[in-house]
Amino acid sequence: MRIAIAGIHIESCGFTTQLTRLADFEVKRGDEVVAAYPFADWLGAQAAEIEFIGTVTANGGANGPVDPAVYDELEDEMAARLSAAGPVDGVYLDMHGAANVLGREKAEERWLRRVRSVVGDAVISGSFDTHGNISRELAELVDLAAFHRHAPHIDNAQTRERAVRLLVDTIARGAKPAKAWVRIPALLPGERTSTAWEPGRSVFGRLTDVIVAYDLVDAAMCVGFYWADEERNHAAVLTTAWDPEAALSGARELAGTFWAAHRDFGIVADHFGPWQQALDYALTGPPMPLFISDAGDNVTAGASGELTYALAETLARKDVTGAGLRMLFAGLVDPAAVDAAVAAGPGASLDRDLGTGGTGHSVPVAGPWQVVRLLTEPATGDTTGALVTNGTVDVTVQRSRVPFVDPRDPGFPPGTLRGLAPADHAGYDVVVVKNGYLFPSQADAAVAFFMALTPGGTDLDPGRLPYTAIARPMYPWDEDFQARLEPELIPAWRKSGPAA
């Protein structure tokens, strides 16, 4: 059995200005692709009977739209390596589902079409993110699709393992399962659909029950990618089964379960609201430390991480700055400030602004700032950030768009938190982080939490983002309409396209 491996894995925010360059991807090629996956652990002795062939995988984390020239270079190299590998029985694709290439749509579908042009009818199985998209075209192009069932994605490894196991089993069987797909006219962010809260916990929890009840091969549910403006962005269900009627029945039940709860998906925090309300809440004396999410500049969803909106608004509140609260604003992306701090050294004063501003939601915040200490990435020892203070608040500035989390946070696959600039948050009363819902290590550290609905590229207020391409009607923009939730049976792919 010969299985090729490829993939492009990135969550691209379409409402931010930064462009994803080649240097923003972690690119693996050939044997290093194969070495990245514990196939022996997943498949046991069976792994020794399979020839795994690495082509190209590119992981860009969460970022802005991809430079078209960069995407084309990666796709062309992948296709060339895949062609050079010769005939394969199957392909494992390590994907996300929310890539966006500047000026284009349907990046994953294009990648899959290129793979199909090389491998023809070979079995294709992919692993995907709940916050990606299952378009009808994607459902046509793949044979199997394993999506995360948890958000935060504590099942990263399990999702990839399931995609590979299903691929191997399907190749061995010598037949392809039936697929049933249904579009759900809702587009919701992870900050409303986290499986750590209801109704997300129960809705996504139905997946395993439905798989057992209808004897499915697998079932996938996605919420779509909220921060990009494409027609394919919406919630969806995809089921696979050896019995077509079982696939249809399972998809119908899961879509109905989601839609029955769609109005109940609220912000996944006990306390949330605009930034000024977050500051008001901090003054009420909640249990400390209080973590506040600057959700409109969420780097884990592709925002720039450079907005100073929350910092500037806080410094303008004399009741807050005079309250004696120790406040840490963590993860402000400002490479120039890091360079200045490195050049000046700990203890030095920086007579400079923080943040770039110029976005309509952000202005540079004036100094002077004192360098408290430099921050190094645990894995490499490289200086990736600095802790600075103006005597009122402390700020970590960093080179990369990476969240302020523990390097071992289970919400992220090993090795994906590149450029971490960790600082000790012990002793702080308030910690402001540039993400939406809290990741496991943050939740463990927080005693109280407030999700601030700030403006920015990952704004949680749909009325402040310029959507034009999403297919209407769509909840939450539209409410009074009848959803059509009847699943469609999608035949297995053939060289001439989907079988009739």
Has residue 356 got a pLDDT over 80? no
Has residue 341 got a pLDDT over 80? yes
Note whether residue 478 is domain-resident.
no
Instruction: State what percent of residues in the chain have pLDDT above 70.
Output: 98
pLDDT digits 0-9 by tens, 383-416: 999 999 999 999 999 999 999 999 999 999 877 8
Note whether residue 470 is domain-resident.
no
Coil, strand, or helix at residue 471? coil
Q: Are 166 and 147 in contact (CB under 8 A)?
A: no
Note whether residue 24 is domain-resident.
yes
Has residue 133 got a pLDDT over 80? yes
Regarding whether 330 and 280 lie in a shared domain, the answer is: yes
Q: Are 6 and 163 in contact (CB under 8 A)?
A: no
pLDDT digits 0-9 by tens, 369-385: 999 999 999 989 999 99
Regarding whether 414 and 493 lie in a shared domain, the answer is: no
pTM of the full predicted structure? 0.93
pLDDT digits 0-9 by tens, 62-111: 999 999 999 999 999 999 999 999 999 999 999 999 999 999 999 999 99
Has residue 497 got a pLDDT over 60? no
Regarding whether 279 and 243 lie in a shared domain, the answer is: no
Q: How many domains does the chain have?
A: 2
Note whether residue 466 is domain-resident.
no
Distance CA 278, CA 293 (A): 9
- For the residues 36-41, what does the mean pLDDT come to? 96
Note whether residue 293 is domain-resident.
yes
* 270 to 197, 235, 264, 444: CA distances (angstroms): 10, 25, 14, 16
pLDDT digits 0-9 by tens, 141-156: 999 999 999 999 999 9
Regarding whether 343 and 250 lie in a shared domain, the answer is: no
Regarding whether 254 and 327 lie in a shared domain, the answer is: no
Regarding whether 38 and 21 lie in a shared domain, the answer is: yes
Six token digits for residue 460: 């949680």
Distance CA 385, CA 395 (A): 10
Note whether residue 71 is domain-resident.
yes
Regarding whether 443 and 489 lie in a shared domain, the answer is: no
Which residue in this structure is represented by tokens 């009840």?
Answer: 213
Counting DSSP H helices and E strands in the chain, the numbers are 14, 21
Regarding whether 48 and 121 lie in a shared domain, the answer is: yes
Regarding whether 491 and 450 lie in a shared domain, the answer is: no
Which domain, by its residues, includes 348? 272-459
* 450 to 290, 301, 457, 462, 463: CA distances (angstroms): 7, 18, 19, 19, 21
Regarding whether 391 and 344 lie in a shared domain, the answer is: yes
Regarding whether 138 and 11 lie in a shared domain, the answer is: yes
Regarding whether 54 and 30 lie in a shared domain, the answer is: yes
Note whether residue 423 is domain-resident.
yes
Note whether residue 476 is domain-resident.
no
